[in-house]
């Protein structure tokens, strides 16, 4: 049987100051106000306080609790819930959050510590005790209850539409991709390096074809890459870039022809090597992966540098090794544009038994990325 709570009158609080010119503060303020509404409208806060008092009463040595003690327990339970939510929201430690509450008129009313005449904030030791106020299972039940209310009774929480529990979309565009900055001519250098390293492995197994040492091709491409980098300092930089790109394109075409010949020889004569068929297929896949994208990468570099034409974003190659990569304009200091992984779609664990579930429904938007050959 749930415990009967004492009505506690909230004290008068000062109004929040009007802050202009900071959109992050405005968003945080709106978020805290919305969380405060959800705690009150859903009855989640009252249930948390009742459960805390019932648990304290069951574990305490004294069964008859005075109204003064019950009032104190209810106040601390309310503060524990709100302080834990706010501290988790801004990712602060106990000492940092204690300073933040003491200095912030925004967190003081949310954490129920603001008053007209004074502000008494919890210490870092009190915040640590608040973090151990309830176990994870109890908090998880409250979260599930709030989710069910948003799904079944959206009007109670003033939602425009019921919360959809069938699919959960995880926005991972903020995860920076593990690639270098996408430059068109650098793709030619990457292709040369990967193909020549694979050819070196094949030649070490005794399968050889008439050609120069693979390291010489990598060296020549590195020299051209350094020349391309320094063309910005020349007087006619555009003309110099075109000249260097023509040399790079000619060199990578020669590299591709050698790679195709070694690929064919390895596929036909792999039994003469010390490799198993699985190890042979691994090297063949590495060669095929780059050779398949190399014509498009060469065409992209020629169109953008030689002809000055724009390549559609959907057709643009940002990396030879990461397939699901997109450019995200973030408008942040030091990161105006970032190369990020695309969004994925996942299916959450339902809160209630679902009659029909397709096992592959949650992985419709997932694409496995090709690992980098240098790893």
**pLDDT tens track for 38-72:** 988 888 888 888 888 888 777 766 667 788 888 88
Residue 64 confidence (pLDDT): 75
The answer to whether residues 297 and 320 touch, using CB atoms and an 8 Å cutoff, is yes
**pLDDT tens track for 317-364:** 888 888 777 776 655 555 545 555 554 444 444 433 333 333 343 333
SS3 340: strand
Q: Which distant-in-sequence residues (6+ apart) come within 8 Å of 222 by Cβ?
A: 189
Q: Which ranges of 270-364 does DSSP label H, i.e. alpha helix?
A: 277-301
Backbone CA torsion sign across 312, 315, 317, 323? positive
Arithmetic mean of pLDDT, 74-99: 91
Residue 370 confidence (pLDDT): 36
The lowest-confidence range among 111-115, 218-222, 244-248, 350-354 is 350-354
**pLDDT tens track for 170-227:** 655 556 777 888 888 999 999 999 999 999 999 999 999 889 999 999 999 999 999 9
Q: How many CB atoms lie within 10 A of CB 191?
A: 22
Please give the Cα distance from 260 to 247 (Å, whole number).
20
What are the structure tokens assigned to 20, written together? 């202009």
Q: Give the closest residue to 80 by CA, choosing from 99, 53, 57, 102.
A: 53
């Amino acid at each position: 049987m749930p415990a009967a709570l004492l009505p506690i009158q909230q004290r008068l609080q000062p109004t929040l100051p009007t802050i202009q010119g900071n959109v992050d503060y405005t968003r945080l303020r709106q978020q805290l106000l919305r969380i405060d509404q959800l705690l009150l409208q859903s009855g989640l806060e009252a249930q948390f306080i009742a459960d805390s008092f019932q648990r304290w009463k069951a574990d305490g040595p004294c069964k008859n609790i005075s109204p003064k003690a019950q009032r104190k327990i209810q106040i601390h339970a309310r503060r524990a819930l709100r302080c834990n939510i706010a501290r988790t929201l801004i990712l602060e430690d106990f000492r940092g959050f204690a300073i933040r509450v003491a200095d912030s008129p925004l967190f003081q009313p949310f954490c129920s510590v603001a008053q007209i005449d004074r502000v008494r904030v919890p210490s870092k030791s009190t915040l640590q005790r608040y973090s151990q106020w309830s176990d994870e299972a109890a908090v998880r039940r409250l979260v599930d209850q709030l989710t069910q209310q948003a799904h079944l009774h959206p009007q109670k929480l003033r939602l425009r539409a019921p919360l959809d529990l069938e699919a959960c979309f995880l926005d991972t565009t903020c995860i920076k991709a593990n690639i270098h900055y996408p430059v068109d001519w650098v793709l030619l250098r990457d292709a040369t390096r990967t193909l020549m390293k694979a050819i070196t492995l094949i030649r070490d197994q005794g399968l050889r074809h008439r050609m120069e040492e693979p390291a010489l091709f990598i060296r020549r491409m590195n020299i051209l890459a350094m020349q391309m980098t320094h063309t910005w300092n020349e007087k006619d930089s555009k003309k110099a870039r075109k000249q260097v790109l023509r040399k790079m394109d000619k060199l990578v075409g020669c590299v591709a022809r050698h790679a195709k010949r070694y690929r064919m020889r390895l596929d036909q004569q792999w039994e003469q090597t010390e490799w198993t068929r699985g190890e042979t297929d691994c090297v063949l896949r590495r060669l095929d992966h780059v050779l398949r994208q190399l014509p498009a990468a060469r065409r992209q570099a020629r169109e953008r540098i030689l002809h000055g034409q724009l390549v559609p974003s959907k057709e643009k190659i940002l990396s030879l090794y990461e397939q699901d990569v997109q450019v995200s304009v973030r408008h942040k200091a030091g990161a105006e544009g970032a190369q990020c992984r695309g969004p994925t779609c996942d299916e959450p664990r339902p809160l209630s038994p679902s009659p029909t579930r397709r096992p592959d429904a949650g992985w419709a938007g997932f694409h496995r990325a090709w690992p980098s050959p240098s790893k």
